[in-house]
Amino acid sequence: MAYQKNSKIAKSCSSRYPTINLTATVLVALALALCGPLCLAQEMAQGHGPAPRLAEDPHTDSHIAEAIRQDSADHIRQTIEQLVGFNSRSTISAQDDESIKAGKGIGAAREWIKAEFERYSKDCGGCLEVKTDTFTEQPGDRIPKPTEITNVYAVLRGTDPQQANRIVLVTGHYDSRNSDPLNGTEPAPGANDDGSGTAVSLECARVLSKAVLNKVKFPATIVFLTVAGEEQGLNGSKHFAQMAKQQGWKLEAVLNNDIVGGDRSPQQDASVVRVFSEGLPAAATESEIRRIRMLGGESDSTSRELARYIADVGRSYDAGVKPLLVFRLDRFLRGGDHYSFNQQGFAAVRLTEFREDFNHQHQNVRKDDANGIEYGDLPKFVNFDYVAHVARLNAATLASLASAPAPPASVKILTKNLENDTTLTWEPSTGASAYEVVWRSTNAADWEYVQVVSSGTRATLKVSKDNVIFGVRALDQAGHRSLPAVPEPER
């Protein structure tokens, strides 16, 4: 069995109450016998009854751990240097045949990315479907004339016919810019912004397709996407997200990697990567917003649950970098491709290095002799080991989600009677062998407590719904966990 429980669990004074079917008396007796009066007192003082803290409960799949170790900083460096070599990947740069042949402009970049996905697919016996999504963007602020935009992506189809329609996705934008967003000819190396994110998407495709070759199975589908048009107005991601919505994709998670190069400035913290997630969903209707306000659900969008999931992955796998959750759509007054997906109602987050150096993005390559500052988004400012660590975190998240059952559907909190207990119900998930109810204080950032429900799709807990926020997640036999679904009230 691939699933390993952390050995520390057995020593903690929690996790000894694996099911909810025990009576309070038995629980007290068990707690006293196994844990002692002090431990019991601590747990009871929390007012939650005995339950383990999630933070102490990492869960590692050895196959996934092995797969993500194949991420290579050297391969990522080659990818980024190759992308920089196209001179400019501005969306309005050249994409005619001659320029493609000469290896210059966004057309050449697009063809190279496509060929790279196809190479990985050949190496895994054709396991990836390589596709393009091409459309013509009409003139706008940053698009002077009708311009063809192409998103390039590879699909690793899920192995379970019942779950292959579930999709998780990683993306980066392969277009770049210099100081002038309307300049498509001067160098726009875009090594960090966003050669790094493009390299993460490609590297995830490379290592996870390799894992498949080594007989690792992902029941759900993984999509590795690279988009263009980001710097002109999120055009590529907008088109792609709309397509996903129109085609009814069951897109459960989008990881947008933008500026994950770990710029080598002395103030950088290469031990963390920021994960931005929206609070109030961009796609929420007026009545949904009203309900969120009524129930205190401002920090429980599906995007935020995805961010918490990444935090959990960060505890379970040694990626080399830890997720730092930022409860905000994006950096202050700035945007990115995840927002295009949020607008269509999908869970989507943005990963970005801890500290950006604004001399090294959206700048013409130059040196200011007066102060010695070097401007430009060049490979020499990128920390390739850091990008590889971010790629590992992404790959572990994608693999965990694609291995797990679907999140439980129709999760309800029964509110027919006024009572201090809480009863939750949900529909069974395909591939699930058990469920977990998770909860946290309303003022806690991440899930704190968990109760396993080993059979059935209903649980009653001695915890007041007024004081905490609940979620329910599904587990397969090997212990892969789904995203949690937050309940709606049912009268």
Shortest approach of Zn ion to residue 283 CB, angstroms?
22
Of the candidate spans 3-11, 107-115, 153-161, 250-258, the one that interacts with Zn ion by CB under 5 A turns out to be 250-258
160: Cβ–Cβ under 8 A, 6 or more apart, which residues? 219, 220, 430, 431
Taking CB under 5 A as the binding criterion, the range among 140-148, 160-168, 193-201, 210-218 that sits at the site for Zn ion is 193-201
* Cβ–Cβ < 8 Å for 244, 171: no
Residue 278 engages Zn ion in binding (rule: CB under 5 A) = no
* Part of the chain binding Zn ion (CB under 5 A), chosen from 189-197, 216-224, 265-273, 464-472: 189-197
The sign one gets for the Cα dihedral 194, 260, 54, 207 is positive
Nearer to Zn ion, 336 or 405 (CB): 336
Nearest residue (CB) to Zn ion, 258 versus 263: 258
If binding is defined by CB under 5 A, does position 258 make contact with Zn ion? yes
Q: How far is the CB of 197 from Zn ion (least distance, A)?
A: 7
357 binds Zn ion (CB under 5 A): no
Of 227 and 399, the one with the shorter C-beta distance to Zn ion is 227
Q: Least distance (Å) from Zn ion to the CB of residue 427?
A: 39
Q: Choose one: 17-25, 66-74, 186-194, 352-360; the region binding Zn ion (CB under 5 A).
A: 186-194
Least distance from C-beta 195 to Zn ion, angstroms? 10
Q: For Zn ion, what does the binding mask look like between residues 146 and 165, x meaning CB under 5 A? A: --------------------
CB 286 → Zn ion: shortest distance, Å?
Answer: 32
Q: How far is CA 375 from CA 78, 367, 372, in A?
A: 22, 6, 10
**Toward Zn ion, which CB reaches closer, 258 or 300?**
258
Near Zn ion by CB under 5 A: residue from 57, 61, 194, 436: 194
The region of 191-199, 216-224, 233-241, 432-440 touching Zn ion under the rule CB under 5 A is: 191-199
CB nearer to Zn ion: give 89 or 389.
Answer: 89
Q: How far is the CB of 232 from Zn ion (least distance, A)?
A: 11
Task: Give the whole-angstrom CA distance, residue 47 versus residue 311.
Answer: 25
- Report, in Å, the least distance between residue 316 CB and Zn ion: 28
Return the bridge partners of 222, or none.
156, 168
Query: Which CB sits closer to Zn ion, 43 or 194?
Result: 194
Residue closer to Zn ion, measured from CB, 205 or 351: 351
Minimum CB distance to Zn ion, residue 360 (Å) = 12
Q: For Zn ion, how many residues bind (rule: CB under 5 A)?
A: 3
Q: At what angle do helices 73-84 and 384-403 cross, to 10 degrees?
A: 110
Q: Are 310 and 349 in contact (CB under 8 A)?
A: yes
* Cα 92 to the center of its chain, rounded Å: 29
Least separation in angstroms between residue 352's CB and Zn ion is: 9
CB atoms within 10 A of CB 139: 10
Q: Which is nearer to Zn ion, 57 or 278 (CB)?
A: 278
Q: Of the two residues 194 and 448, which places its CB atom closer to Zn ion in the complex?
A: 194
Please report how close the Cβ of residue 244 comes to Zn ion at its closest, in angstroms.
20
Q: Which residues contact 479 (CB under 8 A, 6 or more apart)?
A: 3, 5, 59, 61
Q: Which stretch binds Zn ion (CB under 5 A): 146-154, 190-198, 215-223, 289-297?
A: 190-198
Work out how close the CB of 258 gets to Zn ion at its nearest, in angstroms, rounded to a whole number. 4
d(CA 217, CA 356): 37
Tell me how many degrees the CA angle 95-98-99 measures, rounded to the nearest 5: 45
> In whole angstroms, how close is the CB of 356 to Zn ion at the nearest point?
10
- Binding-site member from 43, 57, 193, 263 for Zn ion (CB under 5 A): 193
Q: In this structure, what token pair is assigned to residue 23?
A: 């009576």
Q: How many CA atoms, within 13 angstroms, populate the side-chain half-sphere of residue 15?
A: 15
Closest CB to Zn ion among 69 and 328? 328
Compute the distance between CA of residue 329 and CA of residue 304 in angstroms, rounded to an integer: 10
Question: Which residue, 4 or 359, is less far from Zn ion as judged by CB?
Answer: 359
| Site for Zn ion, rule CB under 5 A | 193-194, 258
